[in-house]
């Protein structure tokens, strides 16, 4: 793995957690530890974590529930639902299927060697990080950190809801392009059929106010009958 990667090892087994942490640390990685879902959420919200190695928590259902909440964007506004996660646990058919259904990127046996865990972690981190838009997006005075889920305009932090953040990231992926409303509804809300555009319009309106709080409208242009784009151009 790239020595710049930052990992979170989250599991209640102190021995297994500390052994893995020692190996990853010796290989030059920045390692954070968590023993509970609450601690793991706090670490993810306060650090730019590239990969989570998720084992069992104290209660058997806690780790899958934590992962499902992560994928649903329910942990914290600063925790990205696309966070790379490798799970470690039982590898029977049912346990493996449940791990993937909860949102695991790759599921490993509890007795996997460090070399196997390291190789899988490297592959998953590379694939997931490459598939997500570049972590830092700069458009004019607008700065978006997709990993930290933070937004600033001219150095001013902008507090966005989860859906507002997803909307600005989608628009920032091609800032001068007009995204049709149905595209945005599908990308941000998951609606496959047209409709409910008032939901989009209200979120876009709030997002525009927040981004342009300090001056003239520079972000979120509405093209009537077409859709929205991040920055207005002739």
For residue 114, give the CATH number of its domain.
Answer: 3.40.50.2300
Number of domains in the chain: 2
127 lies in a domain? yes
> Which phi and psi angles does 167 have, rounded to 5°?
-65, -45
Q: Are residues 72 and 169 in the same domain?
A: no
Higher pLDDT, 201 or 173: 201
Measured CA distances, 107 to 51, 110, 158, 189 (Å):
13, 9, 36, 28
> What is the distance, to the nearest Å, from the Cα of residue 76 to the centroid of all Cα atoms in its chain?
10
Gap between the terminal Cα atoms of the chain: 45
226/89: higher pLDDT: 89
Residue 195's pLDDT band (boundaries 50, 70, 90)? Answer: low
Residue range 82-141, pLDDT digits in tens = 889 999 999 999 999 999 999 999 999 999 999 999 999 999 988 876 655 456 788 888
pLDDT at position 25 over 70: yes
Contact 143, 219 (CB under 8 A): no
**Distance in angstroms (rounded) separating the CA atoms of residues 225 and 131:** 31
The mean per-residue pLDDT over the stretch 185-208 comes to 81
Let me know whether 168 and 78 are in one domain. no
Residue 60 lies in domain: 6-131
Q: What is the per-residue pLDDT for 193?
A: 61
């Amino acid at each position: 793995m790239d020595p710049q990667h930052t990992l979170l090892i989250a599991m209640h087994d102190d021995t297994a957690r500390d052994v893995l942490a020692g190996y990853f640390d010796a290989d030059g990685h920045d390692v954070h530890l968590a023993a509970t879902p609450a601690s793991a959420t706090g670490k993810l919200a306060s650090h730019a974590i590239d990969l989570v190695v998720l084992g069992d928590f104290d209660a058997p259902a806690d780790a899958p529930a934590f992962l499902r909440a992560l994928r649903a964007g329910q942990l914290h506004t600063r925790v990205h639902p696309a966070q790379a996660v490798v799970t470690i646990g039982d590898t029977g058919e049912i346990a493996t299927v449940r791990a993937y259904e909860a949102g695991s990127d790759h599921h490993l046996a509890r007795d996997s060697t460090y070399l196997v865990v390291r190789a899988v972690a490297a592959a998953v981190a590379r694939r997931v990080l490459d598939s997500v838009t570049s972590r830092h997006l700069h458009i004019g005075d607008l700065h978006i950190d997709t990993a930290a889920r933070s937004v600033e305009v001219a150095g001013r932090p902008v507090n966005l809801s989860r859906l507002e953040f997803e909307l600005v990231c989608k628009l920032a992926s091609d800032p001068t392009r007009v995204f049709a409303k149905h595209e945005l509804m599908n990308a941000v809300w998951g609606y496959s059929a047209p409709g409910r555009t008032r939901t989009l319009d209200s979120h876009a309106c709030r997002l525009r106010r927040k981004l342009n709080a300090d001056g003239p409208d520079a972000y979120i242009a509405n093209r009537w009958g077409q859709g929205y784009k991040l920055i207005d151009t002739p």
